[in-house]
Structure 1
Amino acid sequence: MVVKIRLARFGRTNSPFYNIVVAHARTARNNRPLEVIGTYDPIPKKDTYDNSGRLHKDIKLDMTRAKYWIGVGAQPTDTMWRLLSMVGILPPKYRPAASSTPTPSANASPQADQA
């Protein structure tokens, strides 16, 4: 069975709080996981700034267990890949940048380009 590292939502309405869990891919989001390896609080607190002066979002993660699960083949979701790359466990995924050159339109005739 495929094992995923994903977020399980807790907290109140408009105030989310997530557990970072390892669970089978086919189970529901808030079913009992195989293991809880951390927490993620996406709402920055008022007086918690990081080194660059931005508000700090709280990520608590058991690094050894996360590395173990990735080592045995657990697949992180896209959101978890981003969080794990912030912590330094995985390399960042880069999205291809949108090209700045316009593509030729389908209605343009080839004879107009030659003139």
Structure 2
Amino acid sequence: MALKIRLARGGSKKRPYYHVVVADVRSPRDGRFIERLGHWNPMLAKDDEGRISLNQERIQHWLDNGALPTDRVARFMADAGMMTREARNNPNKAKPGKKAQERLAEKKQKEEDAAAAAAEAAAAPAEEAAAE
């Protein structure tokens, strides 16, 4: 039986509250679980002590028995000092998409063409005056 330490949503509409539970991977998100290990209330301020609560002894027990935490629960455990988790970084996430890059290239080309045309126009009357 594959086990996960994951979040089960509770609370009401637009007021989420999550329980940290250990459950079989095949059971639904809010369905059957084996044991409740803590809670997370995202509605509280980030520096509030009651925002997250973990039963570290039981979590360690389940980790020793082969349960794997989900990414969010792993973050909570890393913040609590229970495990180390390498930070994820996606440097390409902030870059504009293909179409946006094409639009930027077109805009830059138009600006360069306009600047070149203005320089030619400024140079042409000077040449005509010098020719007379």
Q: Distance in 2 between matches of 1:93 and 1:42?
A: 23
Within-5 A mapping of 1:27-106: 27-45=27-45, 55-56=47-48, 58-96=51-89, 98=91
Q: What secondary structure sits across from 1:33 in the alignment?
A: coil
Q: Which runs of 5+ in 2 are unaligned?
A: 93-132
CA contact (8 A) 1:82 1:93 kept: no
Q: How many residues align?
A: 91
- What's the CA shift for 1:96? 3.8
Share of identical aligned residues, percent?
A: 34
Report the structure, 1 or 2, having the larger helix content.
Answer: 2
TM-score, structure 1 as length reference: 0.72
Q: Deviations over 1:2-61 (max 9, x none)?
A: 10000000001111000100000011011120000111111125xxxxxxxx64261111
Report the structure, 1 or 2, having the larger strand content.
Answer: 1
Is the radius of gyration larger for structure 1 or structure 2? 2
Q: Which runs of 5+ in 1 are unaligned?
A: 46-53, 100-115
Corresponding position of 1:25: 25
Q: List structure 1 segments (4+ residues) > 3 angstroms apart after TM superposition.
A: none
CA contact (8 A) 1:3 1:75 kept: yes
TM-score, structure 2 as length reference: 0.63
- What's the CA shift for 1:97? 5.4
**Bigger relative contact order, structure 1 or 2 (CA pairs below 8 A, ≥6 apart):** 1
